[in-house]
Amino acid sequence: MTYPIIYLPGFNSGPQSEKSAVLLSAFPGLIAASYDTWDTNQGYQQIDSLIQTWLELNPILVGSSLGGFWAYQFASKYNLRCVLVNPCMNPETTLQRYVGPVENFYTYEKGVFTEANLQQFSQYRFAGEPVCAVLHEQGDELIPYQESIENFSGKARLILPEGGNHRFEQVQLIIDEINLMCGDHD
């Protein structure tokens, strides 16, 4: 069976990102989500609506950075499988440095990310332990890979390649994990 793959890009990113393009090339049916990364409540609603559209087909969620937070939360909420890439699992602290004026890396849209937006993340943590693979390059300069060890040891398949950065250089590993997840059956 072919499962839909929904990719959730990170903060200030979107479907126009390089990672989206590479994943779309590897998985032509991939759905790269466009959601508001600055307005937490709006972003949640947009992602939830998208996932509900595909829910009957048991989509696989793939998320990078902030998209990793969302992929894990929605996988927990709906009992789906997920692949997380350099995930930002504590956005309330990790994204603190971005409070203020923000600009999307690809569309150049400008906006404001507020302290209130940061605090809203706490209401979107769902109980559950979905089938999950976590890829976190040890060279990630924004989110230390040790956070993934702390958050996912014993709960997920952890892949911690040496080197790299927050953009995640070893993209073939992501493709391999998605393929592996597509081969798993409930």
- Which residue type is seen at 155? K
How do strand 81-85 and strand 132-135 relate by DSSP bridges? parallel
Mean pLDDT along residues 87-103:
95
Q: Is the pLDDT of residue 140 over 60?
A: yes
Round to whole Å and give the CA distance between 122 and 124: 5
State how far the alpha carbon of 7 is from the alpha carbons of 61, 99, 111, 144, in Å: 6, 25, 23, 22
Mean pLDDT along residues 99-104:
94
Q: Is the pLDDT of residue 106 over 90?
A: no
Round to whole Å and give the CA distance between 49 and 34: 11
Do residues 135 and 159 make contact, with C-beta atoms less than 8 angstroms apart? yes
Round to whole Å and give the CA distance between 169 and 102: 25
Q: Is the pLDDT of residue 184 over 70?
A: no
Q: Which two tokens stand for residue 165?
A: 């950065």
Q: Tell me the domains of the chain and their CATH numbers.
A: 5-183 (3.40.50.1820)
Q: What is the pLDDT of residues 24-62, one digit of tens each?
A: 999 999 999 999 999 999 999 999 999 999 999 999 999
Q: Which residues contact 4 (CB under 8 A, 6 or more apart)?
A: 29, 31, 54, 57, 59, 60
How do strand 100-103 and strand 110-113 relate by DSSP bridges? antiparallel
Mean pLDDT along residues 102-124:
93
Beta bridge partners of 7: 32, 62
The beta-strand segments (E) located in the chain are 5-8, 31-32, 60-64, 81-85, 100-103, 110-113, 132-135, 157-159
Q: How confident is the model at residue 105 (pLDDT cuts 50, 70, 90)?
A: confident
